[in-house]
């Protein structure tokens, strides 16, 4: 069975500058064995707030601080769904900040080592009209490349790289960011070249990451959280 996007949930927003836990609901229709990926985005005027790893989740990658209209951080986490009725997730930050979060579900991924590979987080500054989604090298055949993009385009959405299919658009959030999820199956394993995410209205800020999910039985390689690249 191929790895496939199943659904993406509603974006939850902490619309005041504090440390209160934010409750994030699960995507509709998720099933036992699905890989759930949580994307969290925090921002604060005086300094970026580190996003704490929720109980029962595993960190894929956390960005360094980057400057948009405020100082921001992003993080991606995953867990394997134990049932079709996973509870909502409580997400918090180490210091005060605003925050947006979303969970997406994917079927058919390896239940032991689902993460084949991942890129670092890549950002675009406030003067950019596009940014480059990094190249990625997969280890297993038929891995699903998942592009997660937080784009400060307001009420409009940008365009994923050529050959990548958009699956979900959400927003704008309280912070003015759109959440975009897009996918591409990588066959065979190997290097996937970088691609351009083009903003619709820009120039404005954005951040993105590519995560490769290994097919069930494929045995993804151990991943190493990456550092931020500014473009």
Burial of 220 (0-12, 13-18, 19+ CB in 10 A): buried
DSSP letter for each residue of 41-106: EEEESSSPPPBPPPTT-EEEEEPPPEESSSEEEEEEEEEE-SSSSPPPEEE-BSS-EEEEEEEEEE
Residues listed for the chain:
231
What confidence tens digit (pLDDT) does each residue in 107-154 have?
999 999 999 999 988 877 666 778 888 899 999 999 999 999 887 766
The whole-model pTM stands at 0.89
Can you tell me whether residue 4 is helix, strand or coil?
A: strand
What would the two tokens of residue 85 be?
């009725």
Measured over all CA atoms, what is the biggest interatomic distance in the chain, rounded to whole angstroms?
Answer: 47
What confidence tens digit (pLDDT) does each residue in 32-91 have?
999 999 999 888 766 678 899 999 999 999 988 776 656 788 899 999 999 999 999 999
- Judge contact between 46 and 7, C-beta under 8 A: no
How far is Cα 167 from Cα 68, in angstroms, rounded to an integer?
26
Mean pLDDT is highest, among 96-100, 157-161, 204-208, 227-231, for 96-100
Q: What is the CB neighbour count within 10 angstroms for residue 154?
A: 14
Sign of CA dihedral 223, 158, 15, 102: negative
Burial of 216 (0-12, 13-18, 19+ CB in 10 A): middle
DSSP letter for each residue of 184-215: EEE-SSSEE--EEEEPSS-S--EEEEEEEEPB
What confidence tens digit (pLDDT) does each residue in 170-193 have?
876 766 678 889 999 999 999 999
Q: Where are the domains of the chain?
A: 4-230
pLDDT of residue 82: 97
């Amino acid at each position: 069975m191929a790895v496939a996007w199943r659904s993406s949930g509603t974006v939850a927003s902490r619309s005041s500058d504090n440390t209160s836990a934010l409750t994030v609901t699960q995507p509709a229709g998720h099933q036992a064995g699905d890989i759930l990926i949580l994307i969290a985005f925090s921002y604060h005027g005086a300094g970026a707030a580190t996003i704490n790893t929720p109980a029962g989740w595993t960190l894929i990658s956390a960005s360094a601080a980057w400057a948009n209209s405020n100082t921001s951080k992003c993080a991606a986490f995953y867990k394997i769904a134990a049932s079709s009725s996973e509870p909502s997730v409580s997400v918090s930050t180490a210091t005060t900040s605003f925050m947006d979060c979303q969970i997406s579900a994917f079927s058919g991924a390896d239940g032991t080592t689902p993460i084949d590979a991942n890129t670092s987080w890549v950002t675009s500054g406030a003067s950019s009209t596009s940014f480059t989604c990094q190249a990625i090298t997969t280890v297993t055949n038929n891995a699903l490349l998942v592009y997660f993009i937080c784009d400060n385009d307001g009420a409009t959405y940008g365009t994923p790289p050529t050959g990548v299919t958009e699956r979900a658009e959400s927003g704008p959030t309280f912070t003015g960011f759109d959440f975009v999820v897009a996918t591409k199956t990588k066959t065979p394993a190997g290097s996937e070249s970088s691609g351009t995410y083009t903003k619709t209205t820009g120039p404005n800020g954005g951040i993105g990451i590519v995560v490769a999910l290994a097919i069930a039985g494929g045995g993804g390689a151990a991943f190493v959280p990456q550092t931020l690249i500014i473009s």
